[in-house]
Amino acid sequence: MSVEVTEQSPPRPDAGKQPLVRLSGVKKFFPVTQGILFQHRIGDVHAVDGVDLDVYPGETLGLVGETGCGKSTLARVIMRLYDSTAGTIEFQGRDVTHLKGKELRALRSDMQMIFQDPYASLNPRKTIGSIIGAPYLLHKTVAKDKIKPTVQELMELVGLNPEHYNRFPHEFSGGQRQRIGVARALALKPKLIVCDEPVSALDVSIQAQILNLLEDLQAEFKLTYVFIAHDLSVVKHVSDRIAVMYLGKIVEMTTGGTLYENPKHPYSGALLSAVPIADPELARARRRIILEGDVPSPIDPPSGCRFHPRCPQAQFPRCSAEEPQLLPQHPGQFAACHFPLEDRATVVGDTPA
Amino acid sequence: MPQPLLEVEDLTVHFPTEDGLVKAVDGISFSIQQGETLGIVGESGSGKSVSFLTVMGLVNQKQAHITGSVRFQGQDLLTIPAEELRTIRGAKMSMIFQDPMTSLHPFYKVGQQIAEAIRTHQPVGKAEAWDQAVDMLGRVGIPRPEERAKQYPHEFSGGMRQRAMIAMALSLNPDLLIADEPTTALDVTVQAQILDLIDRLKSEFNAAVAIITHDLGVVAEHCDNIQVMYAGRIVEAGDTNDIYYKSHHPYTWGLLRSIPRLDSATNERLKPIQGSPPSLINVPSGCPFHPRCPYVMDVCKVERPPLNPADGHHASACHLTLTDKQRIFSEEVLVHR
């Protein structure tokens, strides 16, 4: 497998600081095959197609995009749950792209994941004590007779009743199950937690409880989060920086406030304008950019800028011929677009007087 | 006021289970006028879906103890014979569901499924029903409807399937469309497309729409009136401005404060509602919200507050005085939004 980055890498956001995770030219393709006896490859799903990304210690990096944009695949590549097709992954300055066996297992104690579906991600036949305590048995960081008190401490930390140690997952509500998932992720005191849509399956009121919990834990344990969600208002609430993904590529990268006030990529603008607002007047006053159609197939992504078939601002032939690079627009704001939105093109209108 | 299209009076739906009686819907009354869009908001288990499944006759006396009345265009749906209900359901009122992945049959072409719905209610031939189905697919914004109608559901994306479901629901030009969490499984961009589509078709078909959701953000733009449900009861009802700018119930306040706002300047801490929704078998005494309510008083624990209209139509079920409600809302809820 080649790890060479053939394309010229764009300038890195915030060059200089030491990142916790650094991705360079990461690609992940899934083969598409045809035939029953003799399978032959007829193409690839370009799930992640050349991503450069730094995650700094203590920050929350938000990843947003529509279904199929590759955000979950990217998270699994960072976690080394998938092997990348190309590119390198560094963790604390060490190349971990091809780690195997023992070394990989040791790495896993530094990075953990919280999953979207609190119903499917817990084994229904195990008590929650053994679910949360499983990492200790695998990594042997805690003596066997100390596991129960340690787990109960963790349960208390995430707001579960420690007396429920011997209960089974079906006895818990969705929000409580997500707390179990959080406790399990915290067990090995990781440095990085990848949260893949951790609140999408929860009711609004419970969602806020989990977001607050994640915030508290970050402050207490100096955690670094990669936070994936399709709901921009949630991502903006938790993130220091946000990366917007479209069809396997990062199209815009900036701070949450800047993205909201001054999006540069037309796709970010459209995403923002579609977010539901719990304020009827504000919602009616804003300018909506309705994107036509669905995300194109990642098996055969559009030429040039991948967004051009849906882009309201596309100018031809440049957008369909030349692929835009992720370039700085303002200090700390990067967008991959030939014709970025004008400054202050705020999509939410001012509240009518 | 003209006769409402749908009038529900004192509806209760109780499911007998091994663990006890589940009081899914516990005495709700509301009405929907012709051309109105009503939003029904509440958490999982608040009874919002069950009440409309009962209206549709999809929950019936065989499964649950149902009392009260559901009058649709003057007919009581709870007492009419099943055959008659079948002529109304699907034709005069229809429903779309949350999960477009599971509500289409995977073995049949999308066009066939829509044509089947048309042929069930109208004396038309196969070819004509097929043409109508293709026409409907075009009207809900599916490109190349002739080809798409010949495809199977797995060849459609989530947004497309929901469009196909809407096409099926509207193919018989119903007077009432019930949308049960129509966009919860979809991306925000697709969600905006679908909600706009429902709005547009509503005026095109002159139908009334009931949107069931757990997200107050979704219904803000699209509803005329909103009712908030909690533990099988309506706790607040009013027009959209009442709910968002003058809300009178602590539960609605909690919902409003739980939503992260895109336009908040700082990443201010969210104020979630404490605890989780109550069991519907052992509903808390008095006001069912009292164990989670930050403004709880002694009277709340013993006496169930009635749904009292405060200014004509805006009603709330809470023991706080109107002045207290107005003060708390403007001091503690509005400033945080």
Strand partners, B72: B6, B75
Residues in B 27-66 with any Cβ partner in A closer than 8 A: 43-44
Question: Could B220 and A271 be called an inter-chain contact, meaning their C-beta atoms sit closer than 8 Å?
Answer: no
The burial class, CB within 10 Å (0-12 / 13-18 / 19+), for B132 is buried
User: Is B256 in the A-facing interface, judged by CB distances under 8 Å?
Assistant: yes
The H or E element that residue A51 is part of is strand A40-55
CA distance B212 to chain A (A): 13
Q: What integer pLDDT is reported at residue A3 of this predicted model?
A: 41
One-letter identity of residue A109:
S
* Chain A CB within 8 Å of residue B246 CB: no
pLDDT in tens, A276-329: 888 888 888 887 787 777 778 888 889 899 999 888 888 888 898 899 999 998
| Contacts for B165 with CB less than 8 Å, ≥ 6 apart | B96, B97, B100, B103, B104
Report whether B247 contacts B318 (CB < 8 A): no
User: What is the pLDDT at residue B150?
Assistant: 94
Q: Is B244 on the interface with A (CB under 8 A)?
A: yes
**pLDDT tens-digit readout, B38-78:** 999 988 889 999 999 999 999 888 889 999 999 999 899 99
Q: What's the length of chain B? A: 337
In this prediction, residues A195-217 reach a mean pLDDT of 89
**B260/A282 touch (CB, cutoff 8 Å), yes or no:** no
More confident residue, A17 or A183: A183
Measured CA distances, B285 to A299, B46, B300 (Å)? 57, 16, 8
Positions of chain B with pLDDT under 50: none
Using CA atoms, how far apart are residues B186 and B193, in angstroms rounded to an integer?
Answer: 10
pLDDT of A60 higher than 80: yes
Helix (H) or strand (E) holding A66: none
A2: pLDDT confidence band, cut at 50, 70 and 90?
Answer: very low
Q: Is some CB atom of chain A closer than 8 A to the CB atom of B277? A: yes
B151 in Cβ contact with B178 (< 8 Å)? no
Residue B272 to residue A206, Cβ atoms within 8 A: yes
Q: How confident is the model at residue A182 (pLDDT cuts 50, 70, 90)?
A: very high
A306 to chain B, closest Cα gap in Å = 17
Comparing CB atoms, the residue among B215, B220, B272 nearest residue A279 is B220
Residue of B159, B30, B60 lying closest to B101 (CA atoms): B159
Query: Hunting for tokens 């095959």 — which residue is that?
Result: A33
Q: What is the pLDDT of residue A5?
A: 40
Distance of CA B68 to the CA centre of its chain: 19
Residue B266: its pLDDT value, please? 57
Asked whether the beta carbons of B244 and B312 are under 8 A apart, the reply is no
> How confident is the model at residue A6, as a pLDDT?
38
Cβ–Cβ below 8 Å for A212 and B270? yes
CB contact under 8 A, B160 and A294: yes
Taking each helix axis from N to C end, the angle separating A147-157 and A128-139, rounded to the nearest 10 degrees, works out to 120
Mean pLDDT computed over every residue of chain A? 86
Q: How far is the C-alpha of B113 from the C-alpha of B95, rounded, in Å?
A: 15
Residue in chain B lying closest to A291 (CA): B189
Alpha carbons B284 and A259: distance in angstroms, whole number: 44
Structure-block tokens of residue B151: 């495809």
Q: Inspect the interface and report whether the beta carbons of A278 and B271 lie closer than 8 Å.
A: no
User: pLDDT tens digit string along A252-279?
Assistant: 999 888 888 889 999 998 888 888 888 8
For residue A40, what pLDDT is reported? 84
For position A4, what pLDDT does the model report? 40
Test A279 with B267 for CB contact under 8 angstroms: no
The pTM of this model reads 0.85
Q: With 50 as the cut, is the pLDDT of residue A348 above it? A: no
Is the Cβ of B269 closer than 8 Å to some Cβ of chain A?
Answer: yes
Residue in B closest to A160 by C-alpha: B275
Contact (CB<8Å) A176/B218: no
B335–chain A Cβ distance below 8 A for any pair: no
Q: How far is A1 from chain B (nearest CA, A)?
A: 33
Counting other chains too, the contacts that B265-270 makes at CB distance below 8 Å and 24 or more residues apart are B265/A257, B267/A236, B267/A237, B267/A238, B267/A256, B268/B336, B269/A212, B269/A215, B270/A208, B270/A211, B270/A212, B270/A237
Of A4 and A316, the one with more pLDDT: A316
Give dist(CA B317, CA B26) in Å, integer: 14
- Within 8 A of B267 by CB-CB distance, chain A residues are 236-238, 256
According to the model, what pLDDT value does residue A11 have?
Answer: 46
Q: What is the DSSP string of A198-254?
A: TTTTS-HHHHHHHHHHHHHHHHHHT-EEEEE-S-HHHHHHH-SEEEEEETTEEEEEE
B17 inside 8 A of chain A by CB: no
A175/B263 Cβ within 8 A: no
Nearest residue of B to residue A292 by CA position? B193
Q: What is the pLDDT of residue A351?
A: 37
User: How far is residue A246's CA from residue B104's CA, in Å, rounded to a whole number?
Assistant: 28
Q: Collect all residues with Cβ–Cβ distance below 8 Å to B303 and sequence separation of at least 6.
A: B286, B287, B319
Is the CB of residue B276 less than 8 Å away from at least one CB of chain A?
yes
HEC string for B43-101: CCCCCHHHHHHHHCCCCCCCCCEEEEEEEECCEECCCCCHHHHHHHECCCEEEECCCCC
pLDDT at B265: 59
Q: Which residues of B touch A272 (CB under 8 A)?
A: 262
**What's the whole-number mean pLDDT along residues A222-250?**
91
* Contact (Cβ atoms closer than 8 angstroms) between residue A338 and residue A251: no
pLDDT digits over A80-117, tens only? 999 999 999 999 999 999 988 889 988 988 999 998 88
ipTM over 0.95: no
| pLDDT number for residue B337 | 57
Q: Which residues in chain B have Cβ-Cβ distances shorter than 8 Å to A277?
A: 217, 220-221, 261-263
Give A225's strand partners.
A60, A193
What are the phi and psi torsion angles at A262 (to 5°)?
A: -145, 65
Q: Is a pLDDT exceeding 70 seen at residue A239?
A: yes
